[in-house]
Amino acid sequence: MKTLERKYSSSERIIAKAKFSAWVYISPVIVALVLGGIIAALWLFGGKIEGLFGVANAPKYLTEQNLRWALLAAAGVVLISVLLVSLKLYSKELIVTEDKIVYREGIASVHNVVIPLKEVRILESHQTGFQRMFGIGTITIISDAEKPYTIKGVKSADRFSRRIVRQMSEVRRAQESTRFVLKLS
């Protein structure tokens, strides 16, 4: 979407931009495989399955025409889930400017989070074994706010969190150097 990039690049320098993983498409693929497998099994063994329930001869309910409709419905479910996942992936943005972390998500209903770097207390990156294989992870930001903020599906989450920590140290170093101490003797 690049909304944050357009918004902040004219007024502030963007230090880092996160990329989100396309592995979110794994759930629609699993749904497609399960539905396709069920329909294929029904197609192949429809007569035998109906025979178990007392329907003799040719299939009465699991006909070729009914299974075609079921296959069409399953394809519709998979396409809708792929569309929803694509919109969700496309609608996420995470950038780090010189003094803040900005996260935006949503298309019609937009959720923005701005966290000043000087208020960040702990930055965690978490990867399961599966996420580690594919280079994605979850970043949790613990700040002065009431609850931590979690951002899922970030590519190279560990590397991105290290970049945030470097920027946090630069912000704190700059803040300390601007302080002056008045000594009275």
Q: Which domain holds residue 176?
A: 1-185
State both tokens at 178.
């601007």
Helix (H) or strand (E) holding 151: strand 149-155
The domain that contains 83 carries what CATH number? 2.30.29.30
Pairing mode of beta strands 111-116, 92-97: unpaired
pTM more than 0.75: no
pLDDT by 10s per residue, the chain, length 185: 577 777 777 778 888 898 888 887 888 888 888 888 888 888 787 777 777 777 666 667 777 788 888 888 888 888 898 888 888 888 899 999 998 999 999 888 898 999 999 889 999 999 999 888 888 999 999 988 888 999 998 999 999 999 999 999 998 888 887 766 666 76
Q: Per the structure, how many domains does the chain have?
A: 1
C-beta separation of 113 from 63 below 8 A: no
CA 93/CA 6 separation, integer angstroms: 12
CA 155/CA 142 separation, integer angstroms: 20
